[in-house]
Amino acid sequence: MRSDPAPDLPGFRARWAALRNVPPFLRMVWQASPGLLVLSLLVRLVRALIPVTALWFGKLIIDEVVRLAATPAPETGPLGWIGTDSTGTLVLLLGAEFLLAILSDLLGRLGGLIDTLLTERLTMASSVRLMDHAASLDLAAFEDAGFQDRLERARRQSGGRMTLTGQILTLMQDGVTVASLAGGLVLYNPWLILLLVAALVPAFLGEAHFNAQNYNLDFRRTPERRELDYIRVTAAGVETAKEIKIFGLAPFLIERYRTLSESFYRARRRIASARAAWGTLFSALGTAGYYLAYLWMIGATLTGRLSIGDLTFLAGSFLRLRGLVEGLLTGFSTTASQALYLEDLFGFFRQKPTILPPAEPRALPRPIREGFRFEGVGFRYPGAESWAVRDLSFKLRAGETLALVGENGAGKTTLVKLLARLYDPDEGRILLDGQDLRSFDPVALRGAMGVIFQDFVRYSLSAGENIAVGRIEDRDEPARIEEAARRSLADRIVARMPEGYGQMLGKRFRDGIELSGGEWQKFAIARAYMRDAEVLILDEPTAALDARSEFEVFQRFKELSAGRTAVLISHRFSSVRMADRILVLANGRVEASGTHDELVARPGRYAELFELQAAGYR
């Protein structure tokens, strides 16, 4: 499957359209912690009004000082004026400004604390939502490279874009501050506002352009970034360390990582260099606008239209406004850019599964009475030209052990995936006790099956938890876990572990114990027994076991599968001969069916493969 095609560089219309992601993002913030969000908004509202209040107090203080300086006063020390009748107003103004500074610092620290906690809450909530949504999607999605790119981008946004919360709230706060400061400027000269905006618009457009370029680079390079992460983990991973050393792969992997990362660096450097150059020019325009306004203020003061306090208030307001408006324009551009990244997250959330339960699902038969029937079933993997299976028609009877035999690519594992409804057929149908498999809830259907694939997962969890994943809701029932271990012979391995069922497995975490392939396989088989399912499906369950262990596992499996419906996939004919019936698959079709003795007795693929395998033991 090919990845998503790289998009054209997003234009201003695309960035504006991406802002539609902000409302659902704010809903996510609200759902993560309503209390923290309301508290943050209240704190920011008060902080937004502090700058104009502080500047106004400064104006009043300067005007009061100028008035007092014009009045002759007796000689006193540097602080002797405090407490006199004429300076009472000045003392009150200074005290108010002091308290305002203390309040500003307090609210700043409180706001930082609230934002940190809110960001943590949001990261947790979005990550949980991402995992929950990913679990609901079809298996076919995960086998598509394009989906993996989307998932990688969404995963990055769920943890890396949560600072957008603070950016949006800061924009709101700065917007209130700008409105309050601009109101003061308008009272003196409305043209000052127009001059300020005209000087800063180029900087805003430049920031928007370069933010879009950075997004475009990140989007186009998602497959390469996934490769970088893969190389980094592979070159320094516990699971790969042996082969890396044996084959001397470190120099190759390091060079490949260096080549990819250098390519990223050069692309990022080009954007950063252009951004710095144009940013210097745009900043100079903003500075020129400020000094033009400053010239008018000085002239108005010299002609008596403004007081010294007015000059201080206007100069401070204009300088503060310049920084705030520049920050607002840049912040708006950054928010629009972040909204483009949010498209990756919400686009992932908009992807829906196709394998869904019906509006009124049938109750799953317990026990299964007739079994499963494949009627002309055909299936083709998404994007594939050839059929994985075609015209499959056979019956899996209730209580029967059916073995699937065939060369690699014959369709054995695909058949199992269809049986567990990890996929739906493109042609034909599968019946369970006479009812279409699609009439049942897929979660309930899979809950009735114990499936262990050849490429089972080796979880970096405790020994008990590695078994309990077969029925995770019963992870607090040690008796059930121990019984499943006994059935799969994993109990003998646990008996040798220092921490027993609490022993951490794998080398990823401290004090973990690594197991052999055969030992891991016994834990995987225990998961199927943990489920105590009506249908057992084992896909190459003994591939990593020695001959004695294989014999013991299958003897136990034969005992425990009595009365249950079972499907067994194996290349070893010594294993499949225990089945009640064997299906021979070739090119996605059933080529032959019968018992071991029946199939060996007649010419065909089964007899040929059996003879080839038997010859190896002579």
Domains and CATH numbers, the chain: 17-350 (1.20.1560.10), 458-532 (no CATH)
Q: How far is 607 from 592, CA to CA, in rounded Å?
A: 11
Q: How far is 123 from 231, CA to CA, in rounded Å?
A: 26
Q: How far is 318 from 174, CA to CA, in rounded Å?
A: 14
172 confidence band (pLDDT: 50, 70, 90): confident
Instruction: State yes or no: pLDDT of 535 exceeds 80.
Output: yes
Q: How far is 242 from 256, CA to CA, in rounded Å?
A: 19
Instruction: State yes or no: pLDDT of 11 exceeds 60.
Output: no
Question: Residues 510, 512, 514, CA angle at the centre, nearest 5°?
Answer: 140
Enter the tokens of residue 478.
Answer: 């040690």
pLDDT in tens, 210-255: 766 766 776 676 677 777 777 877 776 656 765 676 667 777 888 8
Find all residues with CB under 8 Å of 600, minimum gap 6, and list them.
606, 607, 610
pLDDT in tens, 424-443: 999 999 999 999 999 999 88
The mean per-residue pLDDT over the stretch 67-94 comes to 64
pLDDT in tens, 314-346: 777 776 777 677 677 667 766 776 776 677 778
13 confidence band (pLDDT: 50, 70, 90): low
Q: How far is 214 from 618, CA to CA, in rounded Å?
A: 65
Q: Of 442, 438, 191, 383, give the one whose Cα is nearest residue 295.
A: 191
The mean per-residue pLDDT over the stretch 105-111 comes to 89
Q: How far is 108 from 43, CA to CA, in rounded Å?
A: 8
Q: Report helix angle 22-32 to 164-188, nearest 10.
A: 110
Which range among 160-164, 168-172, 425-429, 583-587 has the greatest average pLDDT?
425-429
The answer to whether 423 and 372 have CB atoms below 8 angstroms apart is no
Phi, psi of 142 (to 5 degrees): -70, -15
Q: Of 361, 388, 385, 364, give the one whose Cα is nearest residue 377.
A: 388
Q: Which of 144-148, 369-373, 389-393, 472-476 has the lowest mean pLDDT?
A: 144-148
Q: How far is 41 from 252, CA to CA, in rounded Å?
A: 53
Residue 500 Rama label (left phi>0; alpha psi -120 to 50; beta):
left
Enter the tokens of residue 365.
Answer: 């038969």
pLDDT at 435: 92
Q: Any idea of the CA torsion for 496, 500, 506, 508, to the nearest 10 degrees?
A: -130
Residue 379 Rama label (left phi>0; alpha psi -120 to 50; beta):
beta
Q: What is the mean pLDDT of the chain?
A: 78
> How many Cα neighbours within 13 Å face the side chain of 436?
11
pLDDT at 7: 45
pLDDT at 194: 65
Enter the tokens of residue 414.
Answer: 């695909």
Instruction: State yes or no: pLDDT of 8 exceeds 50.
Output: no
Strands 565-569 and 535-539: parallel
pLDDT in tens, 128-141: 888 888 888 877 77
Instruction: State yes or no: pLDDT of 395 exceeds 80.
Output: yes
